[in-house]
Amino acid sequence: MKLNISKTLVGCSIALCASVLPFTAMADDYPNQDIRLIIPYGAGGPTDVIFRKIAREAEKELGVSIVPVNMSGAGATLGSRHVKDAEPDGYTILGGHDNIALSKIAGMVDYSYEAFEPVSRVTQTFNMPTTYPEHPVQDASEIPQYIEDHPGEVKFSMIPTSTDHFFWMQMFDAMGIDPADVKLISYPDTTEQMAALMAKEIDFTITNAACCASFYEDGTFRPLGVAHSERLSGSALEDIKTFHEMGVDMESATSRGIFAPKGTPQERIDILADAFETALENEELRTTLINELGSEPSFLAGQAYQDFLTENEANLTKVSKNIEF
């Protein structure tokens, strides 16, 4: 009987080792092949450009290529679902942002941040209400009075369930604006919103420096403020007042970060996080992010990033009470 038990224990040990050894071996030489970075948006947009530039620096630390793969569709859930269901081996990661939580809040998917292993936050891009040059509103603090003077006529553009949809609701709440007093006009993407603003079909849209710094500089658009506590850097941005300067207690940013499938070994999460942190220390990259893409390098990892995501989702959920999905 003892012999049988011993054989059983030996057998279990061998089986256990067989199941553990591959992970240990993989952890020791990770990464040893290219890493796919899934970007759940089309090529050329702010999210795509920002992640590609950061990945180019991070891959120098990892010693393998980070291959960006654009996987747009289904409100950015096609790409996030692909990563959520991928093998948790550290070779498929997601470049995502607040839209992960927004998709769940809107009822589009049944998962949020908890379905992933958060690797690190990399940047924050602060949002700005924007209008066309001839519009009578000069800055965001004048919007409530303009609505009062034009009841039911003022048009705000938005992509349903996106960050700009939530931004308006948050701003209306901060400024004491009743959403019933304005018109929210839906558009499929940022490009069509910008075209509508150029055509003066709407009064206001949401932009950020990542997409529109050159439009501010050449006078195509007029930024009405930045939802941040500090002014942005760059010749086209430094004169834009913050919401706090205008007496509006509100901040709003698109916070971009890296996510891995649930179950990815912690040592691989740490290796990835270290690589992205080192990448963001590159001065040339930081200058490009700040001055050309209007995005602040803002690294967070570990429990600090987890806490940020938890608070972020709670805040978005609170704002969603005023939104009909």
Q: What is the CATH number of domain 35-125+253-322?
A: 3.40.190.150
pLDDT band at 264 (very low <50, low <70, confident <90, very high): very high
Q: Which residues of 29-56 are buried (b: 16+ CB within 10 A; e: fewer)?
A: ebbeeebbbbbbbeeebbbbbbbbbbbe
Beta strands, E only, 170-314: 183-186, 205-208, 222-223, 253-261, 295-301
SS3 88: coil
φ/ψ (deg, to 5) at 213: -55, -40
Distance CA 306, CA 78 (A): 23
Distance CA 80, CA 258 (A): 11
Distance CA 129, CA 144 (A): 13
Predicted pLDDT of residue 3: 38
Which pLDDT tens digit goes with each residue over 92-123?
999 999 989 999 998 999 999 999 999 999 99
Predicted pLDDT of residue 290: 87
Q: Name every residue whose Cβ is closer than 8 Å to that of residue 16 and which is 6 or more positions away in sequence.
A: none
Q: Which CATH number fits domain 127-246: 3.60.150.10, 3.40.50.300, 3.40.50.620, 3.40.190.10?
A: 3.40.190.10
Of 11-15, 24-28, 171-175, 195-199, the poorest mean pLDDT is in: 11-15
Which pLDDT tens digit goes with each residue over 36-80?
999 998 887 788 999 999 999 999 999 999 999 999 888 789 999
Closest by Cα among 128, 135, 141, 152 to 200? 135
Predicted pLDDT of residue 9: 40
Q: pTM of the entire structure?
A: 0.80
Predicted pLDDT of residue 24: 45
Q: Rounded mean pLDDT of the chain?
A: 88
Percent of the chain with pLDDT over 70: 90
CA dihedral 236, 242, 243, 244 (to 10 degrees): 180
Domain boundaries, the chain: 35-125+253-322, 127-246
Closest by Cα among 309, 292, 293 to 119? 309
